[in-house]
Amino acid sequence: MKLHIPDHIAAITPYPPGKPIEELEREYGISGSIKLASNENPLGPSPLAIQAIAESLSGLHRYPDGSGYYLTKAIAGHLGLAPEQVVLGNGSNEIIEFLVKAFVQTGDEVITSHPSFLMYQKFVQIRGGVNHVVPLRNMTHDLDAIVGLVSDRTRLIFLDNPNNPTGTMIAAKRFDAFLARLPEQVIVVLDEAYVDFAEEEHRLDTCSLVTARDGRCAVVALRTFSKAYGLAGLRVGYCFSAAEIAACLHKVRQPFNINQLALVGARAALDDVAFYRQTLETTNAGKRMLMAGVEALGCRSYPSQTNFFLIDVGGSATVLYEAMLLKGVIVRSMQAYGFPQCIRITVGTAAENERFLAALSECLRECGYV
């Protein structure tokens, strides 16, 4: 075998896949562990989605509706936009890929923040594009530094809003001023994966922002069914934008990129208002309880507009992460994200949150941090 691996592919480090929970348990000799590491919905999937999926199983011999007609229409209605402005993805991750495929050529530039969602840079690398990475400032996107890096090769700017992993958001005034300073050919992508959890007054009016306007650059918003709707395993996300941008994204997608179960499941979840409300209530109550508990243990917690938050544990986060793992509580160390003393924890059910606090209390003592 003699492979010609392009340099820009050879340079990519693969996304580190987390081990299945069953494997972790076997390795560490534990059982009944809880995973508070991936910002998933602790209540499970939307019940209406489960029901709709079960009812559609007998149709699996057919190809899915390649236009995603009903789901697209439902999402557009939900947002008050036209269906031509909405594009569905196999998770919002796939939309990130579409954007890069459609707008970035070899040598074109893309600006992202660090720490932030890692997939933005990955797709740019695959495409042979150039990543400019701007460190967060005060745990939030450094919009001034981003403007400073814009050149006539800049095609996309990715901003997760709220940011993962800090949970912070961009203030509307700052964002408007930022847009006004960008050249018209740039596309600003707002990844709103966690916007459902954000307080109303902190949200940007993305439905208006995506409307095309002369003299100003375009804005695209990404959303997902993976978090507040509890469907991470189903893989459905979407974006909304000016219809001209959506038309470009449709050109680069596969005809059946969303499977039939995902189409019906997501559509039912969108109507499952009771589940959605319960998710937000559980998250908000759990977050308050966890933050108070964490502070009582002498750790600092960072305010967050999402279903997760950072905790400064006062010592190596990776050491504490391993100690927590031995007690069957899986969290995320933020060492690799530039916060060596922080763990990131997803808000769980009340029982999971209690268990997390008990394990944290023991581990802080074992590690000698308190």
Ligand X SMILES: *Cc1c(COP(=O)(O)O)cnc(C)c1O
Does residue number 243 form part of the binding site for ligand X (CB under 6 A)? no
Q: In this structure, are residues 308 and 38 in contact, taking their beta carbons and an 8 Å threshold?
A: no
Residues 187 and 159: beta-carbon distance below 8 Å: no
For the chain, the distance separating the N- and C-terminal CA atoms, rounded to the nearest angstrom, is 56
| DSSP helix/strand/coil, 86 | strand
259/261 Cα distance (integer angstroms): 6
Nearer to ligand X, 156 or 357 (CB): 156
Q: Quick one: which segment of 90-98, 177-185, 212-220, 326-334 binds ligand X (CB under 6 A)?
A: 90-98
| Spatial distance between the Cα atoms of 370 and 299, rounded to a whole number of angstroms | 9
Q: How far is the CB of 221 from ligand X (least distance, A)?
A: 12
Q: CB of residue 236 vs ligand X: minimum separation in angstroms?
A: 7
Tokens of 118: 């890692």
Q: Rounded CA gap, 137 and 113, in Å? A: 10
Is there binding between residue 195 and ligand X (CB under 6 A)? no
Q: Which residue, 114, 89, 116, is CA-closest to 223?
A: 89
Q: Which one among 72, 93, 168, 301 touches ligand X, defined by CB under 6 A?
A: 93
Q: Does residue 279 touch ligand X according to CB under 6 A?
A: no
- Pick the stretch among 43-51, 87-95, 138-146, 317-325 that binds ligand X (CB under 6 A): 87-95
Site for ligand X in 125-144 (CB under 6 A): none
Backbone phi, psi, residue 21, to 5°: -55, -35
Task: Output 168 or 323, the one with its CB closest to ligand X.
Answer: 168
CA separation for the pair 314, 369 (Å, rounded): 6
By the rule CB under 6 A, 121 interacts with ligand X: no
Contact flag: residue 224 with ligand X (CB under 6 A):
yes
d(CA 104, CA 181): 21
Q: Does 282 bind ligand X (CB under 6 A)?
A: no
160 binds ligand X (CB under 6 A): yes
Candidates 97, 109, 191, 272; binder of ligand X (CB under 6 A) is 191
Least separation, in Å, of the C-beta of 234 and ligand X?
9
Q: Would you count residue 293 as binding ligand X (CB under 6 A)?
A: no
Interface with ligand X (CB under 6 A) = 39, 91-93, 117, 160, 164, 191, 193, 224, 226-227, 232, 237
